[in-house]
Amino acid sequence: MASVAATLTQFEESGSFVVAAAGEWLVATAAELDRRLRALKVPSGKRVVLDLAGIDRLDSAGAWLLLRTEHDLTTRGNTVDIRNLRSNLAPLLEQVRAGGIVSPAPHPRPAHHTIIGFLARIGEISIEIVVRAYAILGFFGAVCETAAALLLHPRRLRMTALIVQVEQTGVNALPIVGLLSFLIGVVLAYQGADQLRRFGAEIYTVNLLGAGILRELGVLMAAIIIAGRSGSAFTAQIGTMRVNEEIDAMRTIGLDPVEVLVVPRLFGLVLTLPMLTLYANIIGLVGGSFMAWASLGVSPPQFLRQLEYSLYPWTFWIGLLKSPFFAFIIALIGCFEGFQVARSAESVGRLTTLSVVEAIFLVIVADAGFSVFFSILQI
Amino acid sequence: MSDNLAEPVIRVRGLVNRFGSETVHDGLDLDVIRGEVIGIVGGSGSGKSVLLRTIVGLNRPVEGIVEVFGRDVLRMSGSQRRQIENRWGVLFQDGALFSSLTVAQNIEVPLKEYYDMPLRLMDEISAVKVGMVGLPEDAGEKYPAQLSGGMRKRAGLARALALDPEIVFLDEPTAGLDPIAAGAFDELIRDLKASLGLTVFMVTHDLDTLFAVCDRVAVLVDKKVRIGTLDQLLKDNHPWIHSYFHGPRGRVARLSQAGAVTRPETSSVAPA
């Protein structure tokens, strides 16, 4: 770009101001020309001649600069004369002129920086949350209605779709859920053993593992992994179908999207997550027992015996009992956010992220609710 | 218009494109001359868009040479590519605007990337482009999702023109537009070609556009191109080309052009 050169000279000639432009007036030289044109000092009320004889090449950026200069000078009370433009460049100048002397579009407002703006933002978000909660409640109602109708007429239940969901959300998730549960068992056993050894109570590591994994960690790990893995997939799948107008197509054919898309996913996940939780519990305990054996010398038979002594009968069931509720939350949010997608690809990504965050948030809130509930029941 | 002595700005030789076992192009040759508007037509799946994507480097052919401005685009370094890429602009089928940016910001993307210029000048230039492609002034501050299909195409063209390129590639510029908007788009391309001296490489299905703006037409048949002016192609005996230009739609487009009526009026009257 070094060879590109544009020049601008000004002088007075028989009472009128002459601005002579020459060289290549292109987008590449526009920044420099812009600076010099803005620095141009012409007193108002004069006759100004824009002499363009020297211009070899012109593009629309250069043409704009010429027209802007003409416009600025005219509004300051000068009379402006454009002359000597080469005939082959004239159409371009006319084309740009036809576009009009434009005022640049305002850029979108940056985020609120003032205190008022901050408060307003809090208000906006609060209202958004309420509106959203209301919409989710509505969706919850619609889904319950359809699900209940399908339970009364099980023939309309789409078994193939349901089984596909069980495979995708359950069977395909076995490796990742297994690996992470195993590692959580190992970590928990190691930390527990480390602390309890100080009291000579290493054997209670087993109690810690049993209660921790069976009541909380097994089901939470499974639910969080599934929220990230399948809840997001639900939003992305349904959202993409919204973008492609597939949902609308379904409606015109007389298919109910809730029946076809939501119910199989919901039932599939409600069936799958308890099984995954059971699996996560077992693998977590295997991991814990492995660590207990390695660092405390507690052999697997000892581990099992201690586990049997330490557990209340319902400890095992508490985790499993929570899992279908978590599954319901994850599937409901995943599908709901999918239906919120507008007709743009961008919103698919945004809502997928949102659906995962919301699902994990609600799962943990629900888990806390369960803890309160069980402590009232004293189990 | 087609001056045979002029240098070709795009030169394709022996191009072979294959997807799996499907051969799309087999030894395709094509020259595009500076300053002409060339229309690429062909049946669905004949590889019109693939040809465009190959020339701009989005698709690597199995064999062949593609030269743009006399430089081999398939065998060049990244920095050499950049020097060429600011001399062409591409309009994708649905505009391919960046959805997180406003129209004005979309137009400023190439300006920012290639030149160091004050923000205010950049805003002015993008506003000029908005005006040049015939968008209303307030379109600059809108997001692509807020625009209609025709406006998105114009905005995409404005972005393609941001650097005042020498070649613009248009992928089905009038597809999905109503006849009035399509006619206006044809006129826009003709005006821009006249004022900016553009070379236009246009993939199209639209017979009216072919007759209205194209200097030459390249027809993709039998995995190669047959290129010529419309008059030459009208006399071509190849069965596909014959039925393309002499089918009912081809006849109507030819008649309306021969009658030298501007299409916007004809088409708005037609339904009555």
Residue B256 reports pLDDT greater than 80: no
Confidence of residue A11 (pLDDT cuts 50, 70, 90): confident
Do A87 and A152 lie in one domain? The reply is no
Residues A85 and A195 in one domain: no
Band (pLDDT 50/70/90 cuts) for residue A2 is very low
With respect to residue A360, please indicate whether it lies within any of the assigned structural domains.
Answer: yes
Position A89 in a domain: yes
Mean pLDDT of the A58-79 span: 85
Number of domains in chain A: 2
Residue A183 shares a structural domain with residue A293: yes
B164 — pLDDT class (breaks 50, 70, 90)? confident
Write out the residue range of the structural domain in which residue A95 sits.
Answer: 6-99
Residue A44 zone, left/alpha/beta (φ > 0; ψ -120 to 50; rest): beta
The 3-state DSSP composition of chain B as helix, strand, coil percent (nearest 5) reads 45, 25, 35
Whether residue A99 and residue B103 make contact (CB cut-off 8 A), yes or no, is no
Q: Which chain B residues touch A66 with a CB distance below 8 Å?
A: none
Listed in sequence order, the DSSP H helices in chain A are 30-38, 60-75, 90-99, 115-152, 159-169, 174-196, 205-211, 218-226, 232-243, 246-253, 257, 263-296, 300-310, 315-340, 345-377
> Is residue A149 a part of any domain in this protein?
yes
What is the complex's ipTM, to 2 decimals?
A: 0.76
> Both A155 and A304 in a single domain?
yes
- What are the residues of chain A with a beta carbon less than 8 Å away from any beta carbon of chain B? 26-28, 30-31, 34-35, 59-61, 64, 68, 91-92, 94-96, 98-100, 102-108, 342-346
Contact between residue B211 and residue B230 where contact means Cβ atoms under 8 Å apart: yes
Q: How much is the average pLDDT of A247-272?
A: 91
CB contact under 8 Å between A345 and B103, yes or no, is no
- Model confidence at A284, pLDDT cuts 50, 70, 90, reads very high
Q: How close does chain A come to B84, measured CA to CA in Å? A: 13
Q: How many CB atoms lie within 10 A of CB A227?
A: 27
Summarised one tens digit per residue, pLDDT across range B26-64 is 888 889 988 889 999 888 888 888 899 889 888 888 888
- Dump pLDDT digits (tens) for A126-182: 999 999 999 999 999 999 999 999 889 888 888 888 999 999 999 999 999 999 999
Q: Are residues A94 and A139 in the same domain?
A: no
CB contact under 8 A, A27 and B125: yes
Give, for B12, the enclosing helix (H) or strand (E).
Answer: strand B8-19
CATH code at position A95? 3.30.750.24
A85 and A197 in a single domain? The answer is no
pLDDT at A252 over 90: no
**Tokens, residue B213:** 């703006």
Which helix (H) or strand (E) element contains residue B213?
helix B207-213
User: Is A123 inside any structural domain?
Assistant: no
Residues 6+ apart with CB under 8 A from A114: none
The answer as to whether A119 is a domain residue is no
pLDDT of residue B269: 40
**Shared-domain flag, residues A331 and A235:** yes
Q: Please check whether residue A122 lies inside any domain of the structure.
A: no
Quickly state the pLDDT bin for B101 (edges 50, 70, 90).
Answer: confident
Claim to verify: residue A172 and residue A271 sit in the same structural domain: yes
pLDDT at A283: 96
Tell me if A110 is assigned to some domain. Answer: no
Q: What is the Cα–Cα distance from A317 to A215, expressed in whole angstroms?
A: 8
Of A28, A105, A345, the CB nearest to B104: A105
Pick the closest to residue A223 from A161, A164, A280 (CA basis): A280
- Distance, in angstroms, between B137 CA and closest chain A CA? 7
What per-residue confidence (pLDDT) applies to B259?
59
- Region B68-73: what's the mean pLDDT? 87
| Residue A59 and residue A156 in one domain | no
Q: What is the mean pLDDT of residues A250-264?
A: 90
